[in-house]
Structure 1
Amino acid sequence: MPQDAPHFRHLSHVTLYVPDLQVAVAYYQAAGLLAEWVAPSEPGSGQRARLSFPGGGPSLEVHTDARRQFTDVQLAVTNLDDTYRALSRQPAVVWLEPPCGPAGQRRATLRGPDGNVLILGEATSPLLRND
């Protein structure tokens, strides 16, 4: 595999927009998920919560940011810069956010050829753990 070829490591989490965070968290808890954390509302980005499955694996995040009313999937990658370069050569990939963020929390957001939004994050980030 070429050095700058994409290398997806694992599914980190799926993020869903919800209009009411408390209702959504209660619903998913009733379905058996465990609330890991609930973040207070931040100006311009709404509230967020992360829920995990009792057996581990990828998690579910929910948020109330009305500007992001779509589902996104976050994938951990081995090297964000290499993946960015490799995927940038594909004309159907649209970058919504180029690689950014501090070390250990770097991420980039793209819309793939199928229209789905993917967030790519370096696997070193604690936000991308794979329990």
Structure 2
Amino acid sequence: MSISKDAYNNLLEGGDDKAIKSASIIQRTLLSAGAGIDEVEFISRCKTNWDVWLRTNRHVILEFDLQSITSKVRQLLNNSIRNDGSVQLASLRVPIKALVQEFEAEDLIYDLNAELILGGVFAELVKGKS
């Protein structure tokens, strides 16, 4: 299975030095859940934006807060992975919106939004499968 050129370029432009592997993992995970190439490219952009956000903020945000954010994102991913290892984009919408609200309530939102958190979910997925 070849990876999407746009997905690869998005990840590469975001500084992902393992862009081919990341794009391949994202593509396999989404396609096995029935996603189309447009979703793969969208998720790749979100992951790239998360990677940039994380690089920009890792020395600005308190380490405890940053670890709390990434832990909650990882937990959301773990709760969303299906038995076959796939993830459906549509199934992430409600939990991500709930996590945005939780971050707001806990004063952890910083400049995060649903799409950045979605990117964080897939960044954690890539880390777990690398």
Q: Scaled by the length of structure 2, what TM-score is found?
A: 0.29
Q: Which has the higher strand share?
A: 1
Q: Scaled by the length of structure 1, what TM-score is found?
A: 0.28
Q: Which has the higher helix share?
A: 2
Who wins on radius of gyration, i.e. which is larger? 1
